[in-house]
């Protein structure tokens, strides 16, 4: 008894197996990558170990007789407002391991979600709402720097000819993109699915920092290639393969720290794409070691523009931190064509829980502050703004655009679309849904064609909903929503919060 760790019984989930329904077919045994289910030779039946369950619900979904139910463990600690169970359990774990508590996915903690406190407007009487089924409802969006004015000259026939040459832009048919998830953190099946879905939808997906496998170059027009601190897979062809280049300075889920892809996830294909040895850990340093200040960022931006012969817009992604507005202003002045603001609710393949749950600020506040700052300084046109982190539905997207975003990056929602259940164990490499894993057996659970169709469906569904909401507000084009904060009203927010968001309280 003394050898049993304190932890043994304080697990999060309980596997509830209906004995009458179970036919001992062992599907759950084969499906569970954590060995929570096992065949008990002595008893001749399938048994389970609750402490191993991560709550991914894979077994429950595949059990042919619906015999399984995964529940929260109802064993309770004595109620304590300060020492909530999560802190107690974390201490037990750290006392056992002496290590940093790793976790995956976006933060589950109760950070205010401002989207829930913002409500949208609709037309009544004084202006007509527009029906997207009868009238055009335009979502096309261009990302990239815009001139502050256009110049024209008169052609021979007296018609105007545009003199101003626009810098490179990304054209999106709907203001949504798949955010950076590296090949390695998720597997190749999903990279193909994202690339094809983005191509069919006329939007872009982001490679993340893991390079781009040569077989995906054909989807380049709909690809944003990322350059992060580890520079994995970065070479001339890679930089020129996509529609834009993104410099990743920070990630909302883990601002201020780097990344670590464990060697177990580096298989042959990943190793080839990342240009790192097979099976070795791929570590991204916390900062870029050639960027210690804003003028260094300027140099990298222009180095990338040179490398791509000024054909591609350069995007810079920063985590939403306290001085996001001032930082974004510097980033735009350094020559970025797109600024991505990644809030603290963003997902991750792996991050220390302390960082994920405590560092950074919600994207709504950062986005609103950045948009306003760039306008105050008269440089908003010089860069597009993309918001990322925890956009759960089309209404969140509409609210983000009304706050000032040009487009929204989604990643967690995209993974949910292909079956992720937010078990938050992506860092283990054992994702039972075949997403955050390169184990061939597990990865097989994702069929690229099916995943592609799910992603297409999701974006189409959201786009239709965005059109409905736009039409309801009496708008027929997305650019009239962008930064139109008059379409938002706050409920239950303080004056300080409303001032930062630039919105009135509901009823005003």
Which residues contact another protein (rule: CB under 8 A)?
A: 123, 126-128, 130, 135-136, 138, 140, 142, 146-147, 149-152, 160-162, 164, 166, 169, 372, 375-378, 380-381, 473-477, 479-487, 499, 502-504, 508
15 binds ligand SF4 (CB under 6 A): no
- Please give the size of the binding site for ligand SF4, defined by CB under 6 A: 29
Q: How far is the CA of 285 from the CAs of 4, 265, 302, 421, in angstroms?
A: 38, 18, 22, 29
217-224 CB contacts, 8 Å cutoff, 24+ apart: 217/241, 219/195, 222/195, 222/198, 223/195, 223/198, 224/170, 224/177, 224/180, 224/315
Angle between helices 324-333 and 294-307 (to 10 degrees): 40
Q: Which does 487 bind (CB under 5 to 8 A by kind): another protein, ligand SF4, none?
A: another protein
Q: Which does 436 bind (CB under 5 to 8 A by kind): ligand SF4, another protein, none?
A: ligand SF4
Binding part of the chain for ligand SF4, among 58-66, 143-151, 245-253, 297-305 by CB under 6 A, reads 58-66
When the beta carbons of 22 and 119 are compared against ligand SF4, the nearer one is 22
314 binds ligand SF4 (CB under 6 A): no
Strand partners, 318: 341
Do 331 and 373 touch, CB atoms closer than 8 A? no
415 binds ligand SF4 (CB under 6 A): yes
Query: 113: burial class by Cβ within 10 Å (0-12, 13-18, 19+)?
Result: middle
Of these, 212, 351, 423, 500, which contacts ligand SF4 (CB under 6 A)? 423
Do 386 and 341 touch, CB atoms closer than 8 A? yes
- The CB density around residue 65, as the number of other CB atoms within 10 Å, is 12
Minimum CB separation of residue 347 from ligand SF4 in Å reads 8
> Between the CA atoms of 412, 417, 423 and 425, what dihedral angle is there, to the nearest 10 degrees?
-60
The count of residues in the chain is: 508
- The CB density around residue 14, as the number of other CB atoms within 10 Å, is 17
Q: Which does 161 bind (CB under 5 to 8 A by kind): another protein, ligand SF4, none?
A: another protein
Minimum CB separation of residue 342 from ligand SF4 in Å reads 18
67 binds ligand SF4 (CB under 6 A): yes
What is the C-alpha R_g of the chain?
24
Minimum CB separation of residue 426 from ligand SF4 in Å reads 3
426 binds ligand SF4 (CB under 6 A): yes
Which residues would be at the binding site for ligand SF4 (CB under 6 A)?
17, 22-28, 46, 56, 63-65, 67-68, 104-105, 415, 420-426, 431, 433, 435-436
């Amino acid at each position: 008894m003394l050898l049993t760790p304190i932890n043994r019984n304080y697990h999060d989930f309980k596997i509830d197996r209906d004995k009458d329904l179970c036919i001992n077919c062992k599907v759950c045994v084969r499906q569970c990558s954590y060995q929570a289910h096992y065949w008990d030779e002595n008893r001749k039946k399938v048994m389970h170990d609750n402490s191993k369950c991560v709550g991914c619900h894979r077994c429950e979904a595949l059990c042919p007789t619906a015999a399984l139910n995964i529940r929260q463990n109802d064993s309770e600690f004595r109620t304590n407002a300060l020492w909530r169970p999560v802190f107690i359990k974390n201490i037990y774990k750290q006392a056992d391991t002496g290590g940093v508590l790793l976790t995956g996915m976006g933060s589950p903690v109760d950070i205010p979600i401002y989207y829930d406190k913002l409500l949208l407007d609709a037309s009544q009487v004084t202006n007509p709402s527009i029906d997207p089924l009868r009238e055009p409802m335009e979502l096309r969006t261009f990302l990239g720097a815009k001139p502050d004015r256009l110049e024209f000259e008169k052609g021979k026939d007296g018609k105007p000819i545009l003199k101003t040459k626009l810098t490179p832009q990304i054209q999106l048919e709907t203001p949504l993109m798949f955010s950076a998830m590296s090949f390695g953190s998720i597997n190749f099946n999903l990279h193909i699915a994202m690339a094809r879905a983005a191509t069919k939808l006329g939007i872009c997906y982001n490679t993340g920092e893991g390079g781009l496998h040569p077989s995906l170059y054909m989807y380049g027009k709909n690809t944003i290639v990322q350059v992060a601190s580890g520079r994995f897979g970065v070479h001339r062809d890679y930089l020129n393969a996509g529609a834009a280049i993104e410099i990743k300075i920070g990630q909302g889920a883990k601002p201020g720290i780097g990344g670590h892809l464990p060697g177990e996830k580096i298989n042959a294909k990943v190793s080839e794409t990342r240009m790192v040895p097979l099976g070795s850990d791929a570590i991204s340093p916390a900062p870029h070691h050639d960027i210690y200040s804003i003028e260094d960022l300027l140099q990298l931006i222009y180095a990338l523009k040179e490398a791509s012969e000024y054909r591609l817009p350069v995007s810079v992604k920063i985590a939403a931190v306290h001085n996001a507005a001032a930082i974004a202003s510097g980033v735009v002045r350094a020559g970025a064509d797109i600024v991505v603001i990644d809030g603290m609710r963003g997902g991750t393949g792996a991050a220390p829980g302390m960082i994920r749950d405590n560092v950074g600020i919600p994207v709504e506040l950062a986005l609103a502050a950045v948009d306003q700052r760039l306008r105050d300084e008269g440089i908003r046109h010089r860069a597009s703004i993309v918001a990322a982190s925890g956009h759960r539905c089309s209404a969140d997207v509409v609210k983000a655009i009304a706050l000032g975003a040009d487009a929204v990056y989604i990643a967690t929602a995209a993974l949910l679309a292909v079956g992720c259940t937010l078990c938050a164990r992506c860092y283990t490499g054992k994702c039972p849904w075949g997403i955050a894993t390169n184990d061939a057996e597990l990865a097989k659970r994702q069929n690229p064609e099916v995943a592609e169709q799910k992603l297409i469906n999701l974006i189409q569904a959201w786009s239709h909903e965005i059109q409905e909401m736009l039409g309801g507000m009496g708008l027929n084009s997305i650019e009239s929503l962008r930064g139109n904060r008059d379409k938002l009203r706050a409920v239950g927010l303080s004056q300080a919060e409303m001032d930062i968001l630039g919105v009135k309280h509901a009823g005003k």
